[in-house]
């Protein structure tokens, strides 16, 4: 992953720590992870939608390590122990990004070597949302995202050669395996010039359906093998020049079939673009 400045939200008043972090997981670290106990860091508010969804998701979908829920204080105390790993969120600001755009990422990291929270070693990180955007736009996907994270760790352990390459090229190559599946799309996550079925059909020959977020949630819960869906992370009107992430995921296998991002401009709005549909055909 590219260099990041990470802002770890430690308290409800949003006291932050910033640190530069660049890390590529090593086989030895992944082996430590498999033997670790994973602490899942909850948000301060007991009524948090994130807390409710992540607890349900872990109980239902987490298979790779033993786990326990903790708060921010416990997170800080345990982060220096190499016997522990952590599933937690942070706000990310990219180096040299003059727009100061902040993105919420979900991280799976391993502690140890007296590391501070800022220096934890990421096994994998996935963008969830943009700072200030609605939590409801991503929380229902947490179950499938943590299944992807587990699959990803297993993949790079079995195929360490992928770590040194562009891992997302590996995932983008998988799109050819999804041509018989139905792509679920939410209308407000599409660029205007591809926001109707008629416009999409002109450039995308495979099956698709414009649906509600509830229909995607149901497909994820049902683990519908016939469905892939768009996970879009963008500024949602808060800022231009921010990144818009576009990920196509499998509702059943939790695989990434497509990963890309672009900078939001007048020409390239915050949404899935015509060029993205073209890329899916390759």
- The CA-atom distances, in angstroms, between 25 and each of 69, 89, 165, 179 are 24, 18, 12, 32
End-to-end CA distance of the chain: 24
Report the chain's mean pLDDT, rounded to a whole number.
87
3-state helix, strand, coil in the chain (%, to 5): 35, 30, 35
Question: Of 9-23, 185-199, 259-273, where does mean pLDDT reach its minimum?
Answer: 9-23
> Does residue 5 have a pLDDT over 50?
no
**Scanning the structure block, which residue is given the tokens 């390239």?**
268
| pTM, to two decimals | 0.89
Best CA proximity match to 144, nearest among 230, 31, 42: 230
Highest average pLDDT, of 96-100, 149-153, 159-163, comes from 149-153
* Dist CA 18 CA 6 (whole Å): 5
> Does residue 2 have a pLDDT over 70?
no
Q: What angle do CA 163, 90, 79 make, to 5 degrees?
A: 75
Count CB neighbours of 250 within 10 A.
Answer: 26
Per-residue pLDDT at 244 = 95
Beta carbons within 8 Å of 132's beta carbon, 6+ residues apart = 238
Beta carbons within 8 Å of 5's beta carbon, 6+ residues apart = 18, 19, 20, 21, 92, 93, 94, 95
**Scanning the structure block, which residue is given the tokens 């727009």?**
99
* Dist CA 79 CA 111 (whole Å): 5
- Burial (Cβ within 10 Å: 0-12, 13-18, ≥19) of residue 74: middle
With beta carbons less than 8 A apart as the criterion, state whether 183 and 230 touch: yes
Beta carbons within 8 Å of 3's beta carbon, 6+ residues apart = 20, 21, 22, 94, 95
Instruction: Work out whether strand 121-130 and strand 37-41 pair parallel, antiparallel, or are unpaired.
Output: unpaired
Per-residue pLDDT at 261 = 94
Per-residue pLDDT at 165 = 67
């Amino acid at each position: 992953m590219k260099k990041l400045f990470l802002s770890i939200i430690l308290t409800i008043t949003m006291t932050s720590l910033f640190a530069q972090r660049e890390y590529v997981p090593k086989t030895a670290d992944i082996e430590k992870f498999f033997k670790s106990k994973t602490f899942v860091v909850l948000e301060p508010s007991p009524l948090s939608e994130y807390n409710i969804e992540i607890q349900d998701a872990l109980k239902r979908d987490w298979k790779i390590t033993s786990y326990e829920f903790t708060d921010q204080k416990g997170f800080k105390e345990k982060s220096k122990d190499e016997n522990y790993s952590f599933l937690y969120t942070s706000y990310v600001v990219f180096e040299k990004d003059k727009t100061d755009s902040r993105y919420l990422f979900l991280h799976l990291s391993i502690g140890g070597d007296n590391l501070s929270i800022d220096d934890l070693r990421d096994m994998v990180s996935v963008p969830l949302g943009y700072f200030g955007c609605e939590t409801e736009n991503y929380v229902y996907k947490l179950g499938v995202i943590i299944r992807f994270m587990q699959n990803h760790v297993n993949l790079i352990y079995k195929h360490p050669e992928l770590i040194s390459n562009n891992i997302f090229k590996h995932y983008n190559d998988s799109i050819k395996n999804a041509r018989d599946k139905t792509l679920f799309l939410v209308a407000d996550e599409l660029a205007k010039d591809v926001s109707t079925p008629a416009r999409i059909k002109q450039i995308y020959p495979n099956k698709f359906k414009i649906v509600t977020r509830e229909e995607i949630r149901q497909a994820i819960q049902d683990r519908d093998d016939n469905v892939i869906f768009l996970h879009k992370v963008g500024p949602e009107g808060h800022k231009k020049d921010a990144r818009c992430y576009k990920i196509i995921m499998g509702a059943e296998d939790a695989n990434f079939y497509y990963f890309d991002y672009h900078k939001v401009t007048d020409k390239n709005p915050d949404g899935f673009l015509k060029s993205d549909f073209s890329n899916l055909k390759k």
